[in-house]
A and B are shown apart, each in its own frame.
Chain A
């Protein structure tokens, strides 16, 4: 155990985490140069394109240090996004230290902060690494000062690297060996292994990433998942170097994988404790919780005939991601689809993108919403009760509503101070409550409590746009709070459009309704008749716009030779219509359902 080091890498997007990981693998000979042609750790297309990590990955490196000993280094690449905060916390719990990678030109970002604080909470030894030092704009001293001031870490011995140019890689490895403590644990004690992550592999079934705390895992061992309550027979034990290799055992302090003929990731929940069936541990490891989806939206196939395909695709995705939920939903206009729950907005986007890309589905996504808790009064027919509202369409009779609570978050925004003014206004407009504001150098860190439903749609886009991409944002949930929330319906040609209705705070309802009507006016093409667009709360119209009727659409000349061309035009027209949804004789383009909610310049 003396020669084992378990560590993760904490970094903001683009600060060079994956490149550094690749260099470490390369340096220690995990892969040949030829095999290194692509970044290895981010497996999925989406991960590579977006530069984010969705699933935890781990690599076992063998490094002979300058002290002459050969060390087993387990490098854990953790999800970098707050949507996966729970997974992050489990990954961090499996390590004793972390490399904090900061871009020498850009400095500390909000996302980095959240993960660093988590890492500190886990008592990790943190080794600051200042990367990209060979960039012309690199200011390592300024960044070193920033790390000390903002995070409060001693950065005097930060390692200076350029992962891209291969500078300082050995220094990083030496720092890991010298500064990160080895794991502790007892080989003879009953088995206790933490389930760090799990994923579905079409050849192996569910692969489980584990960190052994006490005891030993071997092939053929009958084990019990203490939280899930299931029993399995281990059929493979191994590690990734990053190539998958099989090992005779995983002992205390080691990180590796096991398989046990499990078919669904749902049976291998992150955070569970694995022990032996006979003579197992008495108590599970602390920190397990069941993750709950917080953001919901409807997913409908553009072509109703694709419903079955969507059902199968969602079920398949769910095999690999137990953290999202789905149930069937039917909408008057959109037909049959699914109401899906996600860990956050990024998670929503990822699932949506995977469905479109990997399963080749054309989807309509309804406005994302959050879960509201409603206390219902008793009525003549129904008793009092509690309702968890996932879908504005299920909003109950207002006379029965005693209280509505909505989820709130604590947001930390980190920005160059020149953008602070508009950012404060944005937070204020979204019903934010400022809790903290500090300046560090030319940067400001501001904390706000915000209702999640004000953030769920386009807050991040707006923040990026008003700060020209410089502000970074992170949040955590802080529970439910009561609010004066109402359901706003949108009526197009006097018919309510269920997919456009949303729950809003009464104080912003009118502005939001006016905004939506204005945007729909631009998004819905002119028809052969004029179309009123209204926003209403209950029966009361709070905003109204009218789309004027089309006045001219006719081909002036059409003789014998023009028929073919005219027919093609008609075909194109019909194809365009097929991509719209019809409400009360009005065809609404698909993209309007989401675009209508974009708040634009407020």
Chain B
């Protein structure tokens, strides 16, 4: 029997945006009108369907799309219903992703009032030219104003920036990140721009409209980012996430530590008791499915021990804290040798890319920018082939 951890993390997906960003491959849609009442009732049915037994929630995350477009009353109603059905721990972390526009900043106080205690602001860049390139609707000034309001309304504020932009010089990023650190948020998500298939940027690159930053300068920016955030007291704890100690995103840690989580709303994924679920992506299909079946699950499958272990490894090794091999072996009833290629582990340890302390292994500073290649080496072949 797999030792399933009760799901104590809930993800709610709000799929609507005013406009699609050219780099984004998340499940987002633009619609003229949204029937709020209908959506509320549909989310309620999903909450009821996923109701767990006993364990109260420790974290909720409103992601999207643009969840800051949700009316605060809807957010409040969902939180009330979730608390009624699941119960909350006293220190529950409730995060909402928000755009830093003036309209949305005007809702922050109301969102805080209904229970949001952490926001993640999609600032993305601190200059207007780059914001335009990234297809954002806000200006650098809007973002700063929104950030100030957010810092007044919420205990915890995180900001998102996208770097390693085409042609971005080291000195430019150094200055920009320096300013971002001065804003004083205790959490920063700093993502290297990735050209995802199917996005407008992918088409642009194919047509030669711009050339993504090459890997070598991108690697330099990655190292610079980690050293600057560490020096500023908000070191990386994951590939792209940086926080003051204790201020890590509890909800996202649940993913990386491969704890169970529930996901409701269009396209949301869940992992619970060794079962993976994925909901209908298209909003209309999801609404119809919930109306018909009481849930929006499009696909559900059991993950065997090998699949679970490989997922746990590829998520866990993103964290600075690494993984506890013995604990994972125990959890999935596998031998450690079945999970990790020991010969490769020794090789990459000798190259200084991997560390090992007791039963814990993790990726070193030098190894982090090479994580995907390292995963291909470290995760045992039998785990992936199986």
Assuming A563-B269, A563-B314, is B384 touching A570 (CB within 8 A)?
Answer: yes
Q: Which of B345-386 contact A (CB under 8 A)?
A: 347-348, 351, 353, 368-377, 379, 381, 384-385
Report yes or no: A552 in contact with B370, Cβ–Cβ below 8 A: yes
The residue on B at minimum CB distance from A574 is: B384
Report yes or no: A556 in contact with B239, Cβ–Cβ below 8 A: yes
A137 at the B interface (CB under 8 A): no
User: A422 to chain B: closest CB distance in Å?
Assistant: 34
Instruction: Choose the segment among B38-46, B84-92, B174-182, B215-223 that binds chain A (4+ C-beta atoms closer than 8 Å).
Output: B215-223
Report yes or no: A529 in contact with B351, Cβ–Cβ below 8 A: yes
Report yes or no: A556 in contact with B315, Cβ–Cβ below 8 A: no
Assuming A560-B255, A560-B263, A563-B315, is B191 touching A554 (CB within 8 A)?
Answer: no
Q: Which of B1-52 contact A (CB under 8 A)?
A: 11
User: A29 to chain B: closest CB distance in Å?
Assistant: 59
Report yes or no: A574 in contact with B318, Cβ–Cβ below 8 A: no
User: B212 to chain A: closest CB distance in Å?
Assistant: 12
User: A251 to chain B: closest CB distance in Å?
Assistant: 66
Q: Which residues of A contact B79 (CB under 8 A)?
A: none
User: In the complex the two chains form, what is the Cα distance from A556 to B381 in whole Å?
Assistant: 24
The residue on A at minimum CB distance from B164 is: A556
B336 at the A interface (CB under 8 A): no
Report yes or no: A557 in contact with B311, Cβ–Cβ below 8 A: no
Q: Which residues of B contact A34 (CB under 8 A)?
A: none
User: A326 to chain B: closest CB distance in Å?
Assistant: 31
Report yes or no: A552 in contact with B369, Cβ–Cβ below 8 A: yes
Report yes or no: B348 in contact with A528, Cβ–Cβ below 8 A: yes
Assuming A528-B351, A558-B318, A559-B252, is B370 touching A553 (CB within 8 A)?
Answer: yes
The residue on A at minimum CB distance from B249 is: A559
User: In the complex the two chains form, what is the Cα distance from A550 to B351 in whole Å?
Assistant: 13
Q: Could you tell me how many residues of chain A have their Cβ less than 8 Å away from some Cβ of chain B?
A: 25
* Choice from B218, B222, B314, B381 contacting A567 with Cβ under 8 Å: B314
What does DSSP make chain B's interface, helix, strand, loop or mixed? helix
A551 at the B interface (CB under 8 A): yes
User: In the complex the two chains form, what is the Cα distance from A552 to B381 in whole Å?
Assistant: 22
Interface string of B259-275 (1 = CB under 8 A from A): 00101000111110000
Q: Which of A210-254 contact B (CB under 8 A)?
A: none
Q: Which of A568-591 contact B (CB under 8 A)?
A: 569-571, 573-574, 577, 585
A381 at the B interface (CB under 8 A): no
User: In the complex the two chains form, what is the Cα distance from A551 to B217 in whole Å?
Assistant: 9
User: In the complex the two chains form, what is the Cα distance from A528 to B222 in whole Å?
Assistant: 17
B102 at the A interface (CB under 8 A): no
User: In the complex the two chains form, what is the Cα distance from A397 to B194 in whole Å?
Assistant: 54
Q: Which residues of B contact A567 (CB under 8 A)?
A: 307, 310-311, 314, 384
Report yes or no: A552 in contact with B315, Cβ–Cβ below 8 A: no
Q: Which residues of A contact B351 (CB under 8 A)?
A: 528-529
Report yes or no: B263 in contact with A557, Cβ–Cβ below 8 A: no
Q: Which residues of B contact A550 (CB under 8 A)?
A: 215, 370, 373
B134 at the A interface (CB under 8 A): no
Q: Which residues of A contact B368 (CB under 8 A)?
A: 554
The residue on B at minimum CB distance from A578 is: B381
Report yes or no: B373 in contact with A553, Cβ–Cβ below 8 A: yes
Q: Which residues of A contact B168 (CB under 8 A)?
A: none
Interface string of A530-563 (1 = CB under 8 A from B): 0000000000000000000011111111111101
User: In the complex the two chains form, what is the Cα distance from A581 to B267 in whole Å?
Assistant: 40
Q: Which residues of B contact A528 (CB under 8 A)?
A: 348, 351, 353, 370, 373-374, 377
User: B260 to chain A: closest CB distance in Å?
Assistant: 10
User: In the complex the two chains form, what is the Cα distance from A570 to B372 in whole Å?
Assistant: 8
Q: Which residues of B contact A571 (CB under 8 A)?
A: 384
Q: Could you tell me how many residues of chain B have their Cβ less than 8 Å away from some Cβ of chain A?
A: 48
The residue on A at minimum CB distance from B363 is: A554
Report yes or no: A554 in contact with B384, Cβ–Cβ below 8 A: no
A564 at the B interface (CB under 8 A): yes
B185 at the A interface (CB under 8 A): no
Report yes or no: A555 in contact with B371, Cβ–Cβ below 8 A: yes
Report yes or no: A552 in contact with B255, Cβ–Cβ below 8 A: no
User: In the complex the two chains form, what is the Cα distance from A526 to B318 in whole Å?
Assistant: 22
Most B CB contacts (10 A, CB to CB) among A554, A563, A570 go to: A554
Report yes or no: B318 in contact with A552, Cβ–Cβ below 8 A: no
The residue on A at minimum CB distance from B353 is: A528
A164 at the B interface (CB under 8 A): no
User: In the complex the two chains form, what is the Cα distance from A593 to B347 in whole Å?
Assistant: 25
A316 at the B interface (CB under 8 A): no
User: In the complex the two chains form, what is the Cα distance from A338 to B311 in whole Å?
Assistant: 41
Assuming A552-B216, A552-B222, is B381 touching A560 (CB within 8 A)?
Answer: no
Report yes or no: A554 in contact with B377, Cβ–Cβ below 8 A: no
The residue on A at minimum CB distance from B318 is: A558
Q: Which residues of B contact A585 (CB under 8 A)?
A: 347
B117 at the A interface (CB under 8 A): no
User: In the complex the two chains form, what is the Cα distance from A566 to B316 in whole Å?
Assistant: 13
User: In the complex the two chains form, what is the Cα distance from A314 to B370 in whole Å?
Assistant: 43
Assuming A528-B353, A564-B269, A569-B372, is B310 touching A556 (CB within 8 A)?
Answer: no
Q: Which residues of B contact A566 (CB under 8 A)?
A: 314
Interface string of B265-298 (1 = CB under 8 A from A): 0011111000010100000000000000000000
Q: Which residues of B contact A559 (CB under 8 A)?
A: 63, 252, 255
The residue on A at minimum CB distance from B366 is: A528
B320 at the A interface (CB under 8 A): no
* Choice from B191, B219, B268, B377 contacting A561 with Cβ under 8 Å: B268
User: In the complex the two chains form, what is the Cα distance from A554 to B369 in whole Å?
Assistant: 6
Interface string of B175-207 (1 = CB under 8 A from A): 000000000000000011110000000000000
Report yes or no: B373 in contact with A561, Cβ–Cβ below 8 A: no
Interface string of A332-345 (1 = CB under 8 A from B): 00000000000000
Report yes or no: B314 in contact with A560, Cβ–Cβ below 8 A: no
Assuming A560-B11, A567-B310, is B372 touching A553 (CB within 8 A)?
Answer: yes
User: In the complex the two chains form, what is the Cα distance from A570 to B309 in whole Å?
Assistant: 13
Report yes or no: B314 in contact with A564, Cβ–Cβ below 8 A: no
B240 at the A interface (CB under 8 A): yes
User: B381 to chain A: closest CB distance in Å?
Assistant: 6
User: In the complex the two chains form, what is the Cα distance from A529 to B374 in whole Å?
Assistant: 11
User: In the complex the two chains form, what is the Cα distance from A570 to B384 in whole Å?
Assistant: 7
Report yes or no: B310 in contact with A552, Cβ–Cβ below 8 A: no
User: In the complex the two chains form, what is the Cα distance from A245 to B278 in whole Å?
Assistant: 67
Q: Which residues of A contact B353 (CB under 8 A)?
A: 528
Report yes or no: B370 in contact with A570, Cβ–Cβ below 8 A: no
Report yes or no: B376 in contact with A577, Cβ–Cβ below 8 A: yes
User: B384 to chain A: closest CB distance in Å?
Assistant: 5
Q: Which residues of B contact A570 (CB under 8 A)?
A: 310, 314, 375-376, 379, 384
Q: Which residues of B contact A554 (CB under 8 A)?
A: 192, 222, 239, 368-372
The residue on B at minimum CB distance from A557 is: B191
* Choice from A529, A558, A561 contacting B267 with Cβ under 8 Å: A561
Q: Which of B205-253 contact A (CB under 8 A)?
A: 215-216, 218-219, 222, 239-240, 252
Report yes or no: B376 in contact with A561, Cβ–Cβ below 8 A: no
List chain B positions with a Cβ less than 8 A from chain A: 11, 63, 191-194, 215-216, 218-219, 222, 239-240, 252, 255, 261, 263, 267-271, 276, 278, 307, 310-311, 314-315, 318, 347-348, 351, 353, 368-377, 379, 381, 384-385
Q: A554-B371, A560-B269 are in contact. List 19 more A-B contacts (CB 8 A).
A: A528-B351, A528-B370, A528-B373, A550-B215, A550-B373, A551-B219, A552-B222, A554-B369, A554-B370, A555-B239, A555-B371, A557-B240, A558-B255, A558-B314, A558-B315, A560-B261, A561-B278, A563-B255, A567-B310
Between-chain CB contacts (< 8 Å), 29 pairs: A528-B353, A528-B370, A550-B373, A551-B219, A552-B222, A553-B371, A553-B373, A554-B222, A554-B369, A557-B191, A558-B314, A558-B318, A559-B63, A559-B252, A560-B11, A560-B255, A560-B261, A560-B270, A560-B271, A561-B268, A563-B269, A563-B315, A564-B269, A566-B314, A567-B384, A570-B379, A570-B384, A574-B385, A577-B376
List chain A positions with a Cβ less than 8 A from chain B: 528-529, 550-561, 563-564, 566-567, 569-571, 573-574, 577, 585
Q: Which 3 A-B pairs have the closest CB atoms?
A: A551-B219, A552-B219, A573-B376
